[in-house]
Amino acid sequence: MSKFSLESIREIQRRIGSHEISTKEYVAKCIGNIKNVTGEGGKAFLTIDEVQSLAVAEAQDKLIEKGVKLGPLAGVTVSIKDLFDVVGQVTASGSKVLRKNAPATEDSGVVDRIRRAGGIVIGRTNMTEFAYSGLGLNPHFGTPLNPFDRRSGRIPGGSTSGGAVSVVDQMATIAIGSDTGGSCRIPAALCGVVGFKSTANRYPMDGVLPLSRSLDSVGMLATTVECCQIMDEVLSGGAIKKYPLVPLSRLKIGVLENVVLEGMDKDVKRNYLAAIEKLEKAGASLRVIISDVVNKIIEIQGQPHIVSAEANSEFENILTSMGDGVDPRVSTRIARGKDVTSAAYIKTLHERQSLIKAWLREFSNDDFWIMPTVPVIAPLLSELTSDDEYFRINGLMLRNPGLINFLDGCAISLPNHFPGEAPTGVMLVSPGGTDENLLRYSLSIEQILSV
C-alpha cells in the first residue's frame, strides 16, 4: 500500500491516530490531487476550500497531540455537491445563471452536521445543471471524465459527477450528493465505488436546492459500505456503532426480474449473474420477484412525471428570464413539466401512495431486493452527441434507480466488477425507514462480492 492509497474512513483515522501521517498531510495530498493539472480536479471541483480545510486539519492535529478525542469524521475530507449551502459560497446547482445569487449566510443542515462531527469540507463538486440528468454532463464547467478508460473519454454518471470522481481520484474521502432518480447510485456504479441513497427526509433538507421536493433525497459516495454507514449515523443524528456481519444464511433476498434486467449489456449481465451465484453459494435464500408495482410505475411513468412537474415549478421563472444560459438538454426536460396538468400531477401523487403500500405487501417476506444498478457500463462521451441518443441513454440510466425514489425507499449500489474491467454495480433496495438494516446487510454482501 502506498502512503496515500485509496482508503476508508477507518483506515485514514487509524493512520492519523498512529502518527503514520498527519491530518494536515492527508488534506494537503487531497488538495494536491484536485489541483494536479494532469487530472480531472479542474472539472470535478468548482471551488476548493484550501485555506480553511488546511487550518481545520492543523487544529485537529494539535488536539490529537493533546490527547483530545475528536468526532467521528475527524481527519475525513468531504466533497460537497454544488446544491448544498455552504456559508459564504453561492449555491448554484451546476448552473452559470445562478452564480449571480448571493452567497449562503449559513451552512445547510447536512454540512453543519459534517463539520460538527469533525469532517473537513474540501470543496464544491461539479454536477449536471440543476441535478437533472443521470449522465453527469455539464457544458458550462466541463464534464469530469470517468476514471475508467479515461483516454477513451467515458461519462462519470450523474448528476453527482464530480462527487464520484473526487472519491476515485483521491480528492476526498467521501462525497455528499443528492439523489432524485439515481444521482448518487448511477455515478457510483459507473465509476466503481459505493453509492448510498437514504430514505427521503432522513437527513436535514434545509439549505438544499431542490429539483423535486417529493423525490429528492441526500446520498453519498465512498470506497466502502462502512464509510456510508458512518456518514449516515452522523447525518441522521444516530450513535456511531460497529455492526457485526449478518450471516448470509439468515438473509432473504428478492431477485427482481421484470423491467430491471432489460437492455443489459454483456458486462453488466455477466457480473450481475456472477453476483447472484456468489450469494447462492454463500447460503442466502433467494426468490424470484415479478413485481406488479414495478410494472405499474413504468406504465404511468411515475418518477419522470413527478420530477418534470416539480422541476418546472422550481425553475420556470429562471427559464423564462435566463433560459438561453441553461443547458438546452436540461431546459428541454424541465419544460416538459408544463405538459403535466395539475389533475395528472395530483393523480400521480395519489397513485404513488397506493403503490408504496402495495410494494410493502410484495416486500413483506424479504430483507432486501437486488437488481443491477444500471444496465450498461459507462458510455463514451462521443456516443452522446445527438439529442436522441442522449435522452435514450439517460432514460436507461435512470430507469432502475428511479423506481426506488418513486417508492420512497432506500438503496445502495455496490461495485461488482472484476479488477481492471469496466465498473458495474449491483443495487440493494428496501422500503423507506429501513436504512440501518440495509446498510448492515450491505456489509455482508460487500464482503461476498469482493471475493
Each domain of the chain, given as residue ranges in start order, spans 9-236, 250-449
pLDDT for 240: 84
Taking only the tens place, the pLDDT of each residue in 361-380 is: 999 999 999 999 999 999 99
Locus of grid cell 432486501: 368
- The reply to whether domains 9-236 and 250-449 share a CATH topology is yes
CA angle in degrees (0–180, nearest 5) for 242-187-215: 80
- 250-449: CATH topology is Amidase signature (AS) enzymes (3.90.1300)
DSSP tag of 248:
G
Mean predicted confidence (pLDDT) in 120-133: 98
What distance lies between CA 401 and its chain's CA centroid?
11
Answer yes or no: is pLDDT of 3 > 60: no
| pLDDT tier for residue 451 given thresholds of 50, 70 and 90 | confident
What type of residue is 376?
Answer: V
Mean predicted confidence (pLDDT) in 350-356: 98
CA distance from start to end of the chain: 19
Asked if 430 and 437 count as a contact pair (C-beta separation under 8 A), the reply is yes
Q: Which of 8, 81, 413, 444 is catalytic?
A: 81
Answer yes or no: is pLDDT of 6 > 90: no
Q: What gap in Å lies between CA 203 and CA 219, rounded to an integer?
A: 9
| pLDDT tier for residue 5 given thresholds of 50, 70 and 90 | low
pLDDT for 345: 97
Q: Which of 183, 214, 217, 308 is catalytic?
A: 183
Answer yes or no: is pLDDT of 9 > 80: yes
Can you list the pairs that 317-323 forms with residues at least 24 positions away whose Cβ atoms lie under 8 Å?
Answer: 318/97, 318/98, 322/97
Q: Across the chain, what does the average pLDDT equal?
A: 96
| Whole-Å CA distances, 173 to 176, 222, 234 | 10, 7, 15
Mean predicted confidence (pLDDT) in 338-350: 96
183 noted as active-site residue: yes
pLDDT for 239: 85
Least confident among 51-60, 69-78, 234-243: 234-243
Answer yes or no: is pLDDT of 1 > 80: no
Taking only the tens place, the pLDDT of each residue in 131-150 is: 999 999 999 999 999 999 99
Domain 9-236: give its CATH superfamily: Amidase signature (AS) domain (3.90.1300.10)
Mean predicted confidence (pLDDT) in 110-120: 98
Going across the sheet that includes 45-48, the strands are 45-48, 120-125, 77-81, 174-178, 218-222, 194-197, 410-415, 425-430, 368-372, 252-256, 285-289
Q: Which of 8, 95, 133, 159 is catalytic?
A: 159
Answer yes or no: is pLDDT of 115 > 50: yes
Mean predicted confidence (pLDDT) in 159-169: 98
| pLDDT tier for residue 4 given thresholds of 50, 70 and 90 | very low
Answer yes or no: is pLDDT of 243 > 90: no
Taking only the tens place, the pLDDT of each residue in 182-227 is: 999 999 999 999 999 999 999 999 999 999 999 999 999 999 999 9
Answer yes or no: is pLDDT of 426 > 50: yes
159 noted as active-site residue: yes
Mean predicted confidence (pLDDT) in 262-278: 98
5 noted as active-site residue: no
Residues 6+ apart with CB under 8 A from 56: 27, 120
